[in-house]
Structure 1
C-alpha cells in the first residue's frame, strides 16, 4: 500500500485489553496514527476505540486486517488467534507487530516467518525488555569483553497475579492461551533477554514444570504455573532460570545475572535505571547516563539522567524502531518474527523436557529461516 513520505503511519489494533492500551500509547508516542481497532465483539471494539482514542472501530479482526488503509497492524488478541490475525494482516499488505507468543506452536510460528518474508513486510514481536537502556548497556559490556568469558548465569521472571486458585484469565485455558502458560508468557521474555545480552544461544536445556492448581475458578487447568530450567549456552556457560506466576510480592520481577572471568553484571527490570557490576575487589552500581553510555544504550535514553525510564518507555522505543524499519530504517536489535519462532521452539523444548522428567533437550540456533 502507498504511504506518503513522512506522514504518520496508520496503525490498526486487534484487541481491546491491557496490551492494546500499551500498544496504542506506544504508537502515538512513536508518531503513529491510531486509526482503527477491533475487539472480540463490535460493541467492545467501539468502547475500546473510544477509551483508547483510536479514530474508528471495525466490527471484527478480519475487517480490520483487510481494511486496506492501514500501514501496520498490532495483533494484541488471545494467543490462539495470533496466527490467524497476523496472517490476514500480512496477506492484506500490512506490516505486523504481533504480541508474544508469536504462535502457540513452532509450526505456526514457522508459517508466519515464511509469510512475512514472502510478503516483504516488517514483522516484529515485542520482546521489549531489550529496550531498557541498561539492558543494552549490559549487552555492550559483554560484547566489549569487560566481563571476560561468561561462565554462569542466574535469571528469573517472577509474578504473583495467579497466586490463588480463584485467580484466572484466558491464559489459563490451553484452548486460548496454548499448552504452555508461564513459560510461553514470561519465560520467553527471559530467554530472549538472556540470549540477547549474552550474545550466546541456549544450546540445550533441562526443565521441570508444575501446575500447582489443577482447577481455577471451577475450570480445569493443564498449562503450567511454574517452570525451572537448567541451560547450557553455546560457549559452555551453565545457568539456572526460574519462572513463576505464584511468587508472593513479585509483581514483574525479571532479573538476570551473568558471571564472567573478570566481572559480573546484574539487571533488574523493576530497577531499570541501574546495573550492578560485581568484581572480586569490589562492586558498584552503574546508573543510567547517556553521556557515558554505549551508543546503543544512549540511543534508548530519551530522557536525561535522573528522569526514570520504565516499561512504557521501553515499549515506545520498540514501536519506534519498528516504525523506522517500515519506513526503510535498519534499527539495531529489533526483535522479529524469527525471534518469536525461536521462543516457540524453546517453549516446545521446555514442555518436551518436562514431559520426560527433566531430560536434556538440544536447542541449537537455527542455521537459516524456514524455507
Structure 2
C-alpha cells in the first residue's frame, strides 16, 4: 500500500492554512488541475505558460489573480504552497526540482521524467526535501477501481494467475495528426506506452498489490511520418505487451493511440482461483465480478462497498462521476497529505519512478526482441 510517510506533513514542517497552488502549463492538463484545485477548496494564485500571451489568456479565462512569464518567478512566490507542473514532458524534471529546492510540494504530470535515472533523482530529492510529491495516476481514484483493489486484498478472488486488458485511443490515427508528444526531444523516447501504457501498468499494480517483474514487448507504428511537413516519427503508436509478476501471475496488455473509435478505453481484468474482476474506465460506475457459479455487476451504491471506495463516492448513483472527479479527489488527498495525513493510495514520485523503469524495460525488450527483467524500485 502506497503511503506518503517521509514525503510531507512531518513535525519539521508546519502545514499551510490553505491549499495555494501555482499552475505551470496552460493546455488541457492545466485546465484540469486548475478546476481540481478549486473544487477541492484550494486557490490557484498564479499561472505560467510557454509565453506571456498564453499565460495571460489562461489567467483571464479562468479568473486568476496573476500570470507569469517566468515559471521560476511563480515557483518562488511566498504565497505558493504546491506547484502543479502541467508542461510538456521534457520540462517536468527541471521544474519539479526547482519547486522542491524552493521548499514547495509538487504535483507533476506523468511521466515524472523521460528517463529512469532522472526519475530516481527526483524521487530522492522529494524524500530529502520532505515534501509531498505526487504523480497523477488518477484512474486510481475511481470508486470502483478502489473496490476492485479492496476485493483482491480481501482474498475474494483468490490467488491471481492472470491479468489482461489494455488502453486504447484513436487521437493520433491519421498521419496529419501531430503533437509535441510525438517528438522524442520533448515527449521522450516512448509515446504510447509512456503516455497511457504507464496508466494501465499502474492500475494493474495498484489493484493487485503485485509488481511486474519481467516484460516482453513489441512496438509498432501506423504512421512513419506525421504533420504537414511529413516529419519522420521514431516514437511508437502501439505496444503489445506480455508480462509476469512477482506473485506468479502472467498477463498481456495492448496499448494504442491509433485504434479507430476508441477514445479513452482503459480496461483491466484480473482472474484468480476464486473469481474475476473487470474494470472499464469508460464505464466507471460499475465493476464486473464473476465466478464459476455466478456473475454480477457491482455499482457504487452497493451497501457492501469497501470504506476506501465509499469515500471516493461524491455523487448519488445516476449522476455519473468521471475523469475530472478523479482529479478533484487526487488534489483533495494531496491537500490532506500536505496537512500531515496519509491518505490511502496517493500516487507519489516513487510511483512515477516505477513507470519510468517499466517504460525503459518495454523499449529495451522491443528493441532487442527478448524478455527483460525489471529491477526493484522500492525505497
Q: State the TM bucket, normalised to the shorter chain.
A: over 0.9
Give 4+ residue runs of structure 1 displaced > 4 Å after superposition. 2-6
Match of 2:119, SS state, is helix
Is the 2:135–2:351 contact (alpha carbons within 8 Å) kept by the matching residues of 1? yes
Q: How does 1:233-312 map to 2 (within 5 A)?
A: 233-289=245-301, 291-312=303-324
User: Where do residues 88-237 of structure 1 align in structure 2 (5 Å cutoff)?
Assistant: 88-217=98-227, 218-237=230-249
Q: Name the TM-score, length of structure 2 as normaliser.
A: 0.94
The counterpart of 1:361, out of the listed 346, 359, 372, is 372
Q: How many angstroms apart in 2 are the aligned matches of 1:261 and 1:12?
A: 48
CA RMSD of aligned residues (A): 1.4
The size of the alignment, in residue pairs, is 366
Q: Which of structures 1 and 2 has the larger relative contact order (alpha carbons within 8 angstroms, sep 6+)?
A: 2
SS at match of 1:318: helix
Contact 2:133 2:349 in 1 (8 A): yes
Query: What is the distance in 1 between the residues matched to 2:342 and 2:14?
Result: 20
**Structure 2 Cα separation of the partners of residues 251 and 214 of structure 1:** 22
1:203-247 deviation per Cα after TM superposition (whole angstroms, max 9, x unaligned):
111001012212101212101100011010111111001100000
Kept in 2: contact 1:34–1:53 (CA 8 A): no
Cα separation, 2, equivalents of 1:298 and 1:127: 19
Aligned position for 1:316:
328
Q: Contact 1:290 / 1:297 at 8 angstroms: preserved in 2?
A: no
Offset, 1:288: 0.9
Query: In the TM superposition, what whole-angstrom CA distance separates every residue of 1:95-114 from its partner, at most 9, and x where no partner exists?
Result: 00000000000011011111
* CA-CA distance at 1:364 after TM superposition: 4.4
Q: CA deviation at 1:4?
A: 8.8
The CA deviation string for residues 46-85 of structure 1, in whole angstroms up to 9 with x for no partner, is 1111112322111122222222320000000000010111
**Structure 1: runs of 5 or more not aligned:** none
1:343 is displaced (CA, Å) by 0.2
State the secondary structure of the residue aligned to 2:59: helix
